[in-house]
Structure 1
């Protein structure tokens, strides 16, 4: 560095990108292992939509683009995670009573998981996974979310008030990336 050049100032966002972030998780869960590749910034995305079924595909496209371009996830993981997002969002549209739904997605710096949250702003009892029969027309959403999230090595659930559904999905396929 020459005398004319100066070091860039360190601010809170710069400092954040060099610190280890910890995801919110239950006390008894083990934090995810550190990344084996660098992620420069968390690049979070927040989306607020009207509770309208036609908005699900718009959000799905945004999430797919984010996972491909920011997270550089492989296509199979992108498609599986996009289906999880679609199901979480479809449930919020169908069962929520608020006027809007908020979706947030982020990868915390130096972790290897994306966190997706769908908030329908409707506190309610926490739903349970159902096992629909072959002729049932509905009731498969949470089963799909559970199956796909498990297959991807992640986990999912609801906040205690039932208004926010969340999932953690590893960016890469790894035998030791399963979150317990």
Structure 2
């Protein structure tokens, strides 16, 4: 299930852009998260490279560290004004991400370092148990709004 909405904020007049989709907690689901994000960002005429890398890292973490068989993860993209917010929600609120330097010879463990380098800010929000949302925000400029 995915959805896109455009809602005008009554005071600012800027639309709030939103895209959300549930995906399977598998490597295929993580790849699909990145592909869907790229297509959505392209439709909003926003930068692709850094946001798609952030989506890839957060989705990979959700499928690797936040996976519980049979429980999907959610990718959500918001654009409010000049800010893109990327959220990945999984059902392992008991396993919070930590920013740790990876060993030089390690093949993995650098995902959050990349997120920190590419995003303007990032963090974790606990939801109703057992959920957590890892989010990242970037200043991206104004999204073009489709002609109605």
| TM-score, reference length from structure 2 | 0.78
SS at match of 1:143: helix
Q: Corresponding residue for 1:166?
A: 135
Provide the aligned length of Structure 1 versus Structure 2. 133
Correspondent of 1:51 among 2, 20, 25: 25
Residue of structure 1 equivalent to 2:36: 62
TM-score (ref. length: structure 1): 0.65
Q: Does the Cα contact within 8 Å between 2:89 and 2:134 map onto a contact in 1?
A: yes
CA-based RMSD of the aligned residues comes to 2.4
* Structure 2 residue matching 1:54: 3-state secondary structure: helix
2:65–2:95 Cα contact (<8 Å) kept: no
- The 3 A distance-change label for structure 1 pair 57 and 93 is same
Cα distance in 2, alignment partners of residues 44 and 127 from structure 1: 25
SS at match of 2:16: coil
2:46 aligns with one of 54, 59, 73: 73
Relative to its length, the structure with more strand (as a share) is 2
What stretches of structure 1 move > 3 A for 4+ residues in a row? none
Aligned partner of 1:30 in structure 2 is none
